[in-house]
């Protein structure tokens, strides 16, 4: 964690970074320079997606629990680059069902592939896998802990829509307590002088351990329980899903559940550069009438996930 | 003088290690951390002893046994005010406050039931950190959750 807050050198675009051969488990594994390096490479993939860099490479895709966007975008990334994929899409179709340990699965698959993309329901499983594997691991989500590639695609989307990651005003809305994507994004944006506007029900506020990162970076945050009052000043609104089961008292959920829904009329006086992001899947927190507003960016955001994952795989394998 | 009386209540040792000034209530935990349940060394043990410094304290003396710094530092997890004393031929050759280590391995259980260390055969590893109130906490190297001192459970 301490590495994350070390003084950051001035960023020089397209500098060589230390990503090659290294696993990505948590967004804090990367410096500001590493993050920008990946985003720069991703821009190249957006311009020319079918760069056949993975000819004769085998990528393992080990999804011990279901995933739509993350698994398919990783597999799409590999295939656009001409690589081969092995793996499974649920633990039921692997030897895990026979009781095989994570260590044995990882050691075995290390023999068959150049890089492993892994999602597992246990917190910390990806870090452990990276310690036993002989090939790099990309964490595609370890339980409620980390999901660094989502964070990178969020950052890519912010930079692409705002022109820069520096000095943005961002509103994070919804479940700020349990949302792992929110925590990683806050961590990463502390490197870029962001101002954080935290909008959530009282019981789903951002944990103090995450607020500490903001304070340690000498940045500011503001907390709100009223969504409407913050919209017009924002550059980015990052919506998240509020899950009823997170509330100890169902009555409390009923009281707040409609307070954090974004509809099109609320965007009337918003800034021209505002963009709405969401890690998806959404339930009802963004009304469908927002989808046609040019400020809605969540589906493009999901598409950016492929470019970012292409960049990451290429950088880790030393091909970019 | 009171300290001297304590020394008499719990027999003096000619060679070995004394852990003094243990917070009352944690003496048994220190005993366990040091793995003394199955030791073949003579062990003297006292708790609720009078202390001029702390009012009440615990003390453990282990004859003919000297610990590695790495092992002794774990004591500070439950007894931050404890003192380490090493005695050779009745002479105190070392006396110092026990300092917290930077990392704790294979000693403490992670409080997060979904942590990989609680579900696979993975040795635990924690970074010792201090929060902005100055309280000691453990940060799990794997699940990245932060654990309060009160949640510490030894393996």
| Secondary structure (3-state) at A224 | strand
Task: Return the CATH class of domain A2-146+304-316.
Answer: alpha beta
Q: Name the token pair of A315.
A: 């950088």
Task: Give the three-class secondary structure for B21.
Answer: strand
Which uninterrupted H or E stretch holds A308?
helix A298-316
Q: Which of A2-16, A274-288, A296-310, B83-97 has the lowest mean pLDDT?
A: A2-16
Structural domain spans, chain A: 2-146+304-316, 149-302
Pick among B143, B145, B146, B147 to test the A interface (most A CBs inside 10 A): B143
Q: Are residues B131 and B93 in the same domain?
A: no
What pLDDT is attached to residue A20? 95
B30/B77 same-domain check:
yes
The verdict on B138 and B86 lying in the same domain is no
CA distance A74 to B32: 48
Across the interface, which of B115, B132, B146 has its CB nearest the CB of A124? B115
What would the pLDDT profile of B58-68 be if each residue is shown by its tens digit?
999 999 999 99
Predicted confidence (pLDDT) per residue in A249-305, tens digit: 888 888 877 788 999 999 999 999 999 999 998 988 999 999 999 999 999 999 999
Mean pLDDT (whole number) for B110-138: 92
pLDDT per position as a tens digit, B14-54: 999 999 999 888 899 899 889 898 899 999 989 898 888 77
Report, as an integer, the average pLDDT of A179-205: 94
CA distance B55 to A130: 49
pLDDT at B10: 61
Best interface-test mutation with A: which of B129, B142, B145, B146 has the largest number of A CBs within 10 A? B142
Are residues B71 and B117 both part of a single domain? no
Cβ A144–B114 below 8 Å, yes or no? yes
Residue B116 sits in the same domain as residue B86: no
Q: B120 vs A143: CB contact, 8 Å cut-off?
A: no
Among A2-6, A151-155, A163-167, A228-232, the minimum mean pLDDT is found in: A2-6
Output helix, strand, coil percentages for chain B, rounded to the nearest 5.
Answer: 20, 40, 40
- For residues A78-102, give the mean pLDDT: 88
Question: A116: which strand partners?
Answer: A60, A137
Share of chain A above pLDDT 90, in %: 75
Number of structural domains found in chain B: 2
| Range scoring the smallest mean pLDDT among A241-255, B3-17, B60-74, B88-102 | B3-17
Query: What CA–CA distance (Å, rounded) separates B80 from B152?
Result: 14
Instruction: Enumerate the active-site residues of A.
Output: 69-70, 98, 119, 147
Mean pLDDT of chain A: 91
Same domain, B85 and B121: no
* A16 pLDDT more than 60: no
B143 touches chain A (CB under 8 A): yes
Of residues B25 and A24, more confidently modeled:
A24
Is pLDDT at A3 greater than 50 in this prediction? no
From the list A149, A191, A143, the residue with the least C-alpha distance to A166 is: A191
Confidence bin at B8 (pLDDT 50/70/90): low
| Domain of residue B129, residue span | 103-154
Mean pLDDT over the full length of chain B: 88
Residue A49 has pLDDT above 50, yes or no: yes
Does the pLDDT at position A97 exceed 70? yes
CA A73/CA A310 separation, integer angstroms: 9
Spell out which residues of chain B touch residue A118, defining contact as CB-CB under 8 Å.
none
Whether pLDDT at A11 is above 90 = no
For residues B82 and B144, membership in a common domain is answered with no
pLDDT for A71: 95
Question: Nearest CA to A243 among A231, A229, A260?
Answer: A260
Domain containing residue B28: CATH number: 3.30.70.140
- Assess whether B43 and B82 both reside in one domain: yes
* CB pairs < 8 Å spanning A and B: 54
Tell me whether residue A257 is exposed, middle or buried, using C-beta atoms within 10 angstroms of its C-beta: 0 to 12, 13 to 18, 19 or more.
middle
pLDDT at A104: 96
At residue A272, the pLDDT reads 97
pLDDT at B77: 87
Task: Write down the pLDDT at residue A317.
Answer: 97
Q: Do domains A2-146+304-316 and A149-302 have the same CATH topology?
A: yes
Report the CATH number at residue B116: 2.30.30.20
CATH 3.40.50.1370 fits domain A149-302: yes
* Residue A128 distance to chain B (closest CA, Å): 7
Q: What is the pLDDT of residues B139-151, one digit of tens each?
A: 999 999 999 988 8
B54 and B83 share one domain? yes
**Mean pLDDT confidence for A238-254:** 83
| Strand ranges inside chain A, DSSP E | 58-63, 84-88, 115-120, 137-142, 169-173, 195-199, 221-224, 236-239, 275-277
CB contact under 8 A, B142 and A128: yes
Clarify whether residues B114 and B92 are in a common domain: no
Same domain, B93 and B110: no
Q: Check whether A124 has a pLDDT greater than 80.
A: yes
């Amino acid at each position: 964690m301490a590495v994350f807050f070390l003084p950051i050198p001035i960023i020089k675009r397209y500098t060589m970074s230390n990503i090659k051969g290294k696993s990505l488990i948590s967004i804090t594994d990367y410096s500001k320079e590493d993050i920008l390096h990946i985003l720069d490479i991703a821009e190249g993939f957006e311009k020319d997606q079918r760069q056949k860099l993975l000819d004769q490479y085998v990528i393992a895709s080990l999804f011990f629990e279901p995933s739509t966007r993350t698994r398919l975008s990783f597999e799409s990334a590999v295939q656009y680059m001409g690589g081969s994929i092995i793996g499974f899409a649920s633990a039921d179709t692997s030897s895990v069902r026979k009781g095989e340990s994570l260590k044995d699965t990882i050691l075995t698959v290390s023999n068959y592939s150049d890089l492993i993309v892994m999602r597992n329901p246990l917190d910390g499983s990806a870090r452990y896998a990276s310690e036993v594997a002989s090939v790099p691991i990309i964490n595609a989500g370890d339980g409620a802990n980390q999901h660094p590639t989502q964070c990178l695609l969020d950052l890519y989307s912010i930079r692409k829509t705002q022109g820069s990651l520096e000095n943005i005003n961002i509103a994070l809305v919804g479940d700020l307590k349990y949302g792992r994507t929110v925590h990683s994004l806050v961590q990463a944006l502390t490197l870029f002088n962001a101002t954080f506007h935290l909008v959530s029900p009282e019981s789903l506020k951002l944990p103090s351990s995450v607020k500490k990162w903001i304070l340690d970076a000498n940045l500011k945050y503001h907390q709100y329980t009223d969504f409407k009052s913050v919209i017009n000043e924002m550059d980015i609104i990052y919506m998240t899903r509020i899950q009823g089961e997170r509330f100890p008292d169902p009555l409390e959920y009923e009281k707040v559940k409609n307070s954090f829904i974004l509809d099109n009329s609320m965007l009337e006086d918003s800034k021209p550069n505002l963009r709405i992001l969401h890690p998806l899947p959404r339930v009802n927190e963004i009304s469908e009438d927002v989808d046609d507003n040019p400020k809605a960016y969540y589906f493009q955001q999901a598409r950016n996930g492929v470019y970012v994952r292409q960049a990451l795989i290429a950088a880790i394998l030393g091909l970019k | 003088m009171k300290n001297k009386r304590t020394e008499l209540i719990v027999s003096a040792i000619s060679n070995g290690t004394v852990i003094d000034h243990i917070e009352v209530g944690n003496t048994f935990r220190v005993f366990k951390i040091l793995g003394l349940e199955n030791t073949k060394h003579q062990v003297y043990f006292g708790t609720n002893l009078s202390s001029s410094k702390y009012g009440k304290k615990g003390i453990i003396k282990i004859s003919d046994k000297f610990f590695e710094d790495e092992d002794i530092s774990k004591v500070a997890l439950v007894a931050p005010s404890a003192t380490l004393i090493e005695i050779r031929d009745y002479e105190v050759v070392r006396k110092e406050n026990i300092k917290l280590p930077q990392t704790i391995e294979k000693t403490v259980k992670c409080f997060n039931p979904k942590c990989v260390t609680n579900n696979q055969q993975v040795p635990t590893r924690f970074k010792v950190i201090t929060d902005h109130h100055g309280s000691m906490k453990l940060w799990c190297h794997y699940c990245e959750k932060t654990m309060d001192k009160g949640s510490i459970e030894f393996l």
